[in-house]
Structure 1
Amino acid sequence: MTNLLHAMLGKGLGGLEQVFLDYQPILEAWAAKRGGRCVGVVRNGGKVAAAQAGRTPPLIPMPAFTDWDPITLGAARAVVRANRPAIILSHGQRPARVFAKAAPAGVIQAVCVHKPSFDVTPGTHYLCVGQHLANLALERGAAADHVHVVQNAVRPPPVQAQPFAREDGPVKIVAAGRLHAKKGFDVLIRAVGKLRAWDVDVTCEIAGEGAERADLEALIKTLDLDPCVKLVGWTDDIAGFLATGDLFAFPSHQEGFPLTLLEAMAVGLPVVATEIDGPVEILDEGVTGRLVPDDDPDRLAEALGELISDRDTAQRLGAAARELVLTEYGPDELARRLEAALDGMLVNSKA
């Protein structure tokens, strides 16, 4: 019998939380095949706990204050005692530190790494969502047989984009993500301004919320882009929103293995992304999308403008991007990679 504890203590409902939710049914099936069960643990009062309140089997909510908080540690120890896991898989550093303190010796500890800021602890396994993160784990001292690459995945969308299907009217650029400085939406807004200055008829809609909203609204006003650039807030139908566009822009400065980029590719949008870790593992320049230098509104505007002027190429890139995601980054491939990593942990623990 192999029981598994799957922990995520984030407050929100962003990319990390979505990966946790994508993993949970796969882990439940994997544990069941071994006569055990997988228990999902989430933050009490967090958005995942609220959104999944009616789930079967239920997720276990627990307090999540600090790594050393006695209430948090007590709750973690109680969860471990009740479920006797052979493996504890945590998303992010906080649950990893909490459950490392709560678990007895012999329990396999694993951390899903979503971004470059993480510590390496001897004996811990690292499930990295991108190869560049796996390389960092190795550079920081993780054993090679404790580092596993499990790229993120998305479900096939219920809709498909029809880029440039309209014969008249402006070209619509779409983007989505948390309104945070690292997402680079100010670079996109400046790029749209340059396209407009070049008499390219475009509009842009950015879906998302966050602390940068006021600054981005001010930039839109300063550049006199109010008529054509809109911050439309977040949406529960991200595929439906993306499918309304002709092009997708991804100007981020730092990423792990971005779900939003995969989602845009899955609906068949031609994409232009920053040439940084994460996107460069997904996109093949000129084959499945375009890559441009980081923090460069001129090159972003030029790449978008080139696709607008060569729509046959843009549509070809969008179709190739969709095929890539549906083939390589769907739920079945995620399950295969994740199960292989878990099987490897068990074999390693018996060696």
Structure 2
Amino acid sequence: MTNILHAMLGKGLGGLEQVFLDYQPILEAWAAKHGGRCAGVVRKGGAVARRGASRKPAFVAMDAFTDWDPLTLAAAKGVVRAAAPDLILSHGQRPARVFGKVAPASAIQAVCLHKPSFEVAPGVHYLCVGRHLARLAMERGAPEDHVWFIPNSVKTPTARAKPFSKGESVPVKIVAAGRLHQKKGFDVLIRAIGKLRAWDFDVTCEIAGEGEERGDLEALIRELDLDPCVQLKGWTDDVAGFLATGDLFAFPSHQEGFPLTLLEAMSVGLPVVATEIDGPNEILKDGANGRLVPDDDPDRLAEALGELISDREAAKRYGEAARQLVLDEYGPGELARRLEAALDGMTSKAR
């Protein structure tokens, strides 16, 4: 029998939370096959707890204030007593630290790494969404046989983009999506749109998402006199549907793990231009299924977008190639196969 405690203590509903939701049914099925069960543990009052309120089996919602306060640790101890886990899988550093303090000595501990800010602890397994994170884990001391590469996945979307289908007389629509945070580089995209407009490209831009940088981005839009053509659309529950309304997808991020939004844009068949950073450069091949440009460079981003607008047939080919790559390599079936292989490997080492 193998019981799993699967923990994620984030407040919102971003990429980390979506990966937790993607993992949960796979872990439940694997645990059941091995005579056990999987308890999904989330932050009380958080977005995932609210979304999963009617879920069967229900998530366990616990207080999570800091990594060390007595209320959080007491809640974690209660969860561990009830779940009796043989394996604890945490998403991110906070649940890893919390449950690491109260885990049974016999329990296998694993952490899913979504970004490069993490510490390595003796004996812990690391499930890495990007190859660059796997390399970092080993560089920081994790043994190779405790590091597992499990890239993120997306479901096959019901929406499908039709880039440049509205004809030459309609402005080209560039779309982007993500949390409005400095590391996402939306200011770079807005400056690139300004350059395209100055070069007489008839373009508009819509950015879906919300966050603390909204005020700064709105000020930049006004400063560059882009109010008529750049819109911050706020959150959407249908990301794929929103992306499919575009002609091109821009991904100007400064730091990523293995970006779900990029995979979603590719899955609907959008031609994409992304920054050449760890994560995107593991997914895209420049000139084959998209374009990669230097980080924090509005000129090069604008130039690449302009080149795709000028050569629309090439752009459409990139979009089709990107979609096929996601369908072949980054679907739910591939995620299940890789995660199940990691679970088999981790538990076999403990026997």
Q: Give the TM-score normalised by the residue count of structure 2.
A: 0.99
Q: Which amino acid aligns with 1:94?
A: R
- Post-superposition CA distance 1:232-284 (Å, at most 9, x none): 11100101100000000000000000000000000000000000000000001
Match of 1:90 in 2: 90
- Post-superposition CA distance 1:161-183 (Å, at most 9, x none): 00000112100000000000000
CA distance in 1, matches of 2:283, 2:26: 23
CA distance in 2, matches of 1:210, 1:117: 21
Match of 1:101 in 2: 101
Match of 2:148 in 1: 148
Match of 1:80 in 2: 80
Structure 1 unmatched runs, 5+ = none
CA distance in 2, matches of 1:104, 1:56: 27
CA distance in 1, matches of 2:83, 2:117: 30
- Post-superposition CA distance 1:111-168 (Å, at most 9, x none): 0000000000010000000000000000000011100000000000001000000112
CA distance in 2, matches of 1:266, 1:14: 18
Match of 1:30 in 2: 30
- Post-superposition CA distance 1:54-102 (Å, at most 9, x none): 0000000000011111111111111111121110000011100111111
Q: CA deviation at 1:304?
A: 0.2
- Corresponding position: 1:293 with 2:304: no
User: What pairs with 1:246-285 in structure 2 (closer than 5 Å)?
Assistant: 246-285=247-286
Match of 1:172 in 2: 173
Count of aligned positions:
350
User: What pairs with 1:1-351 in structure 2 (closer than 5 Å)?
Assistant: 1-167=1-167, 168-350=169-351
Q: Which amino acid aligns with 2:202?
A: D
SS in structure 1 at match of 2:97: helix
SS in structure 1 at match of 2:156: coil
Q: CA deviation at 1:9?
A: 0.4
SS in structure 2 at match of 1:109: strand
Q: Which amino acid aligns with 1:237?
A: D
SS in structure 2 at match of 1:159: coil
CA distance in 2, matches of 1:179, 1:117: 20
Q: Which amino acid aligns with 2:11?
A: K
CA distance in 2, matches of 1:346, 1:54: 31
CA distance in 1, matches of 2:335, 2:49: 23
State which drifts further: 178-187 or 98-107: 98-107
Moved >3 Å (runs of 4+): none
CA distance in 2, matches of 1:208, 1:65: 26
CA distance in 2, matches of 1:38, 1:286: 43
Structure 2 unmatched runs, 5+ = none
